[in-house]
A and B are shown apart, each in its own frame.
Chain A
Amino acid sequence: MTSHVIAVARQEFRIAARNRWVLLAALILLVFALVLGLLGSAPSGSLGVGRLAITVASLATLSVYLVPLLALLLGFDAIAGEVERGTLPLVLSTPVARGSVILGKFLGHLAVIALAIVIGFGIAGAAVMVLSGEGASGLIPLARLIASSIALGAVFLAVSYVVSASTTQVGTSAAVAVAVWLALVVLYDLGLLGALVLDPGGGFAQGAFPWMLLASPADAFRLFNLAALDIGNTATGLAGATEELPFSPALCLASLALWLALAFLAALRAFYRLEP
């Protein structure tokens, strides 16, 4: 029922706002984005790309680490924590459907993440735009970055619900969430890097590599933003990965959408199995 979904979403947003979660997340993103934007945009002229475009490229790299972390931090407690505190049994004793509960939580938390991203990246982007005296030309990459960051956040929120609904204790849930972040965001990339290094013939770089980037939500997000900026090689050194992509960058969005759908279904499944 829509009214139940809205009630749960409002409640989650209210809790996050009251706990200063929104403010803190926005501040973290803003500080990192300002530092990157103001420092990273100095040598822009030589590359022939706008300062804002460079800033967006470095922000995309920042987003890959920070946004999944924020989403996991927001979500790991969402179900396991409420079971421990006894509020989930209370909610589930009302006529509300479990699907409405998890959808409401998702929308509420996503609003938190979206607000933090819009504030953090929006202010940093505006600052760079003003300082560089560039017109509105950089607005589109910035908007694209903000929108795709929110999508990345949505994916990891859904992943965090899978974790939170499958573990019965908040402590376990937190540990698993950190492990998931490490695996999906850090170790996966390290693995790919290792494979590239161990592959002098270049067969891997040409063949499976781009597809493996596509398969990871974090890399798909980065690829999408960098490919659209046309500065993929300079900014990432990914050996021309974005230059000769065997697929359209739009496929990266499809990858994010698929991750979101699968993770959300998995979260629903785990949530319906839960004995609160």
Chain B
Amino acid sequence: MTALLTVAGVSKRFGRVEALTGLTLSVAPGERVALLGHNGAGKTTLLRLILGFLRPDAGSIRVGDHAPDSTAARRAVAYLPENVAFPKALTGRELIGFYARLRDVSTDDAMAALERVGLAHAADRASGTYSKGMRQRLGLAQALLGSPRLMLLDEPTSGLDPLSRHDFYALVDVVAAAGTAVLLSSHSLSEIEARTDRVAILREGRLVADAPLSRLQAEAALPVRIRVRAQPETIDDVSDRLGGTRVNGQTVELIFSQTEKMRRLAAISALGPLVTDFDVTQPSLDDIYVHFSRAAGEGGAS
């Protein structure tokens, strides 16, 4: 499948700040890619480059076969900025109608977009009365107008409650299933709920990872942690036999790699009644993210 969005070796600096360095990334039709990074990592800068608002100092960007600032590219792209504050006095219907006219989309299609994000019931209320989640959905409705081929969403789920976030990703799934390429930015892996096909991690303007989540999990090879509890009288014995470290009077902590997991569990169960309880902590999505965004270079940027 040929990529819809191609970013090749793009660098961008603002005065002394090197916002992006030699960034290469592509997104295919129907693909959902999450762009992760800390504050100031360069996520918004990348999206603004793709929109043609900024020009790269080096490298090239193509949307389909078009340059980013061309009319053809802008017809193909939809954008949801990081923080939009719509004119408070205007209603949802008026706002979506306005963006529809700019995109040469009919009023009916505009209302259909409001319905898709579940905002039809509030269409005639001033947007100033909307909750944050409703405003975000209005922004998303605007991005749905005219069946874009590439959606650029800057932190679309920050500040949304888990339910709204779930609805949001359900909508992204539908859009992507219809062939739209989706590139969305976020601050953490846990926020995107493993709902994207690929994860690209930016660290200080450099791409430090670009792979499906499962591969990142495997590559990171983060250790498993097991905490074993025992009686205070037997805790030293348990600690010696398992080779862990004592955390307090009745807990021993073991940290080891994924491949050792079964062997260690067998050793623990062999202790029989000496062990009163234990719990296993797998590395979380956030742990994986922290691993890649801390350990630059080791992340296997591809």
Q: Which residues of A does B touch, CB under 8 Å?
A: 3-4, 7-8, 11, 14-15, 18-19, 85-87, 89-96, 275-276
Contacts and interface: CB of A to CB of B under 8 A. Distances in A.
A89 B152 CA distance: 12
Contact of B104 (A89, A95, A275): A95
A87 B84 contact: yes
Interface centre among B48, B79, B101, B103 (most CB of A within 10 A): B101
B86 interface: yes
B99 A94 contact: yes
A11 B48 CA distance: 25
Given A14-B94, A15-B87, A91 B102 contact: yes
Nearest to A88: B81
Nearest to B82: A86
A86 B81 contact: yes
Nearest to B44: A89
Given A86-B85, A90-B81, A94-B99, 5 more contacts: A11-B90, A86-B84, A87-B84, A89-B53, A95-B102
B71 interface: yes
Contact of B102 (A85, A86, A96, A275): A96
A14 B90 contact: yes
A87 B87 contact: yes
B251 interface: no
Given A4-B101, A87-B84, A275-B48, A93 B90 contact: no
A89 B101 CA distance: 16
Interface in B32-90: 48, 51, 53-54, 71, 74-75, 77-87, 89-90
21 contacts: A3-B101, A3-B104, A7-B101, A11-B94, A14-B94, A15-B89, A15-B90, A18-B90, A85-B84, A87-B85, A89-B53, A90-B79, A90-B80, A91-B99, A92-B53, A93-B152, A94-B99, A94-B103, A96-B102, A275-B48, A275-B53
Contacts of A95: 71, 74-75, 102-104
A74 to B, nearest CB: 14
B142 interface: yes
For the complex of A and B, the 9 pairs showing the least CB-CB separation, nearest first, are A18-B89, A93-B79, A7-B101, A85-B85, A86-B84, A94-B102, A86-B81, A95-B74, A96-B102
B98 interface: yes
B84 A94 contact: no
Interface residues of B, number: 30
A275 B85 CA distance: 18
B53 A276 contact: yes
A52 B45 CA distance: 59
B66 to A, nearest CB: 12
Nearest to B80: A90
A19 B75 CA distance: 32
Nearest to B50: A93
Nearest to B89: A18
A95 B84 CA distance: 19
Contacts of B75: 95
A20 to B, nearest CB: 9
B86 A87 contact: yes
Contacts of B53: 89, 92, 275-276
A7 B90 contact: no
Contact of B74 (A15, A87, A94): A94
Contacts of A11: 90, 94, 98
Given A15-B87, A275-B48, A89 B102 contact: no
Contacts of B82: 86
Contact of A7 (B54, B79, B102): B102
A11 B90 CA distance: 9
Contacts of A19: 89
Contacts of A87: 84-87
A121 B68 CA distance: 49
